[in-house]
Amino acid sequence: MAVGEWKDEANLTTVEALHNDLSYTPSSYHDPAFAEQEQEILQHYKDWAYFANFKFKVDPDQGHNFYDLGDVLYYDLMGVVTRGSFGAHFDRIGPYFANAHIAFKDLEVYATSPTSGWSSMVQRYWGKSTDGVDFDFTFRITGILQKKDGAWRFVHEHVSFPVDMKTQKADFSCGLEASVALYIGKDRDQAEKDGKAY
């Protein structure tokens, strides 16, 4: 499998395979003592991908099981969803975008204790909304998870698009080069000529 290839429930296999397929060096903070927990977190993502790709549109309420609903603080693309409000937000946004597919790129999962961990990735989510609009979003996402009653659940996710600092517009394809898009003035022209710097 090529580095940086999109992954879903069918080809998310092991944490080691994730590390091998990253388009950058894996973090040095992976603790071998928590290898089992990292594999469990990966399984959570495999289950989430399967749900999103096959079950969401027929049983959106099943998605509640992936979150500790009362404890979630969610920085969504369209705004902040405060703790205690996520259940209502999920029940609105979930069915609206449920006829969709999900895939991950550069997914890296970390366990920081037997009951806590986090992840980072680029995620693509595409499909058709309930009011008939085609959508295709690629964004960055960081997730924080807690293990409670034997199951991993999201307690925080931070979702974002890159922003072109000159135009102040979000990039829904996540294709901006940070070394170019950071310039807001005359230095931008040279940066665009030079291309990607890092």
**Residue 84 domain-assigned (yes or no):** yes
pLDDT of residue 34: 99
Check pLDDT > 90 for residue 138: yes
**Residue 89 domain-assigned (yes or no):** yes
**Residue 195 domain-assigned (yes or no):** no
Counted domains in the chain = 1
**Residue 116 domain-assigned (yes or no):** yes
Average pLDDT score over residue span 16-42: 97
Check pLDDT > 60 for residue 187: yes
Q: Which residues of 34-67 are buried (b: 16+ CB within 10 A; e: fewer)?
A: beebbebbbebbbbbbbbbbeebbeebeebeebb
CB atoms within 10 A of CB 130: 11
Nearest C-alpha neighbor of 117 from the set 158, 147, 94:
147
The mean of the pLDDT values for the chain is 95
pLDDT of residue 29: 96
- Give this prediction's pTM: 0.93
**Residue 193 domain-assigned (yes or no):** no
Q: Residue 53 sits in a domain of what CATH number?
A: 3.10.450.50
pLDDT of residue 38: 99
Handedness of CA 155, 161, 162, 164 (dihedral sign): negative
**Residue 1 domain-assigned (yes or no):** no
Check pLDDT > 90 for residue 195: no
pLDDT of residue 196: 77
**Residue 47 domain-assigned (yes or no):** yes
- 64-123 confidence digits (pLDDT tens): 999 999 999 999 999 999 999 999 999 999 999 999 999 999 999 999 999 999 999 999
Residue-number span of the structural domain to which 19 is assigned: 15-160
